[in-house]
Structure 1
Amino acid sequence: MHWMMWVFWGSIVTLLVGSYVVDFLTGRKYDFKEQEKSLNQNSASADSLREIARHDQQNGPF
């Protein structure tokens, strides 16, 4: 059971160190802020809003 602890914590430390090394080597060029949507995503969003509005108009309050 003692070896399981070393495997578990070793894998956690390996992931943390690996992510730091990748971040350092790439020069921190990755930005995880919201990216601009593509034209396809914008048209899909507009289509879904039109479809919702169409169903709201067809169905009465009851």
Structure 2
Amino acid sequence: MSPYLGPLRYGDYSTILKYFAIWSAMADFGLYVIAVRQLGQIKSKEKNSIEKPELKSMYGKFV
């Protein structure tokens, strides 16, 4: 890649890649864990709301 870009453009290219790597690492730092936790909370709320008897009776009124 460096022979194709030359020294100046290769330096720009490597600098951009380094900034991208730093920002992606900062963005991903713990984001996966937080996303899984939030999705788990949403699923548990859905499960709890379905089990409530008043919602089942309301569903029967509309069907």
**TM-score normalised by L of structure 1:** 0.40
Greater share of helix: 2
Higher radius of gyration, 1 or 2 = 2
Greater RCO (Cα-Cα under 8 Å, separation 6 or more) = 2
